[in-house]
Structure 1
Amino acid sequence: MVSPPAPTVRRALSAAAWLLVVLAGLIAAVWGVAWALEGGPQPSADAVEEAVHLDLPEGTEVVDADLSQAQPPMPGDRAEATVRIESDAFGAFIADNGMDAPLLAGVTPAGTASGVIPAGCTDEVCYSATIVVTDDAVEVDLTVTLL
């Protein structure tokens, strides 16, 4: 029977180098998955306005949007967007789009008012929305189906 070779510094350094390579690969894989889940830049308010076929007031901020199902626009396609509208412009948003008055439903755990904009349809889309009202803005979570 042959005895195992004696441990040497060279073998120890080689093993340490391989472990570092494997660890670096694992870290790179985790970073890659996190980067992929992060997503890309949000579309502009003009792009969201064009996709959802609703008028957004000047100064509207896009918080999140998934317009991929509405590209290219076909009847039955859906678009989802979360926009932040200044409180002063929220009434104009409701009026410009012919929406019914929002219904406040309660309070979020953070203590802000929340509610819904009753579902409805225009000539181009049907929509539903939830809202969260803060001191200076209203966050509107829109779901739109193209007609």
Structure 2
Amino acid sequence: MLHPLRSLLIAFGIAEIAKPQPVINACERIGLENAEEAELRPWALWGARLEGALFVWLLARRESGWTPASWLLGIAGVVLVVLPKPIIDYSQQLVYANADDLELKPVVKPTARLLGVLYLFVVALSASGTEPDDSEDVVEQRT
């Protein structure tokens, strides 16, 4: 049986893969003063889908341990927690065609740090693998 938070994050990842626009819209409402002026670059939706796929892959796999993907997400998480401004600036330029015209809300830095914590949490959950189901416990107890 999966940990409830693991299941919730997998569901979020699947939703982000299937429908990334509502996730991006929510992030824009949270972080931009002039969200209605944001002009997404064509690859922005694919970037959101990639983030969702990474969450699902890391959290749904059966084996525990570190992978290159978990290292990458972990490093991104640490950088977002410790030094969010360069990542915010870079991601704005990467995602928006008119990044210089967008006004960031003051909440962007703390929110980016929270995103970093989320990344680290996903990595920690993925490093432990998935919990065995009850039928595996019963078999092990009989032997």
TM range (shorter): under 0.3
Bigger proportion of residues as strand: 1
If the length of structure 2 is used for normalisation, what is the TM-score?
0.25
Bigger proportion of residues as helix: 2
Which has the greater radius of gyration? Answer: 1
